[in-house]
Amino acid sequence: MTLAQVVDGVVLVVRHGVSDRALIEQAIVDIGKQKILGVVFNGHKSNFITSRLINKSYAYYGDYYRKSVQ
């Protein structure tokens, strides 16, 4: 909170499944919404379905570039 008073903006890093929502909301109120630049959700454990949906294009391009190098 001390640093938030002397900087132009703050990025909150929130641990998924651990950080209490009420404490996050209170931190936003204490810091001030105008200074919050964004929130990073850290520690998210993906499951098979989301990893296949999210990483589908990565695998495609990764295979594309891997084939061109060989």
Tens of pLDDT, residue by residue over 5-29, are 899 999 999 988 888 899 999 999 9
Task: Provide the percentage of residues in the chain whose pLDDT is more than 90.
Answer: 34
Measured CA distances, 38 to 17, 31, 63, 70 (Å):
18, 12, 33, 42
pTM of the entire structure? Answer: 0.57
Q: Domain tally for the chain?
A: 1
Res. 57: pLDDT tops 60: no
CA distance 3 to 8: 10
Domain of residue 57: give its range: 3-69
Instruction: Report phi then psi at 45, rounded to 5.
Output: -100, 115
Q: How confident is the model at residue 23, as a pLDDT?
A: 92
Nearest CA among 21, 23, 24, 20 for reference residue 11 = 24
Sign of CA dihedral 38, 19, 4, 34: positive
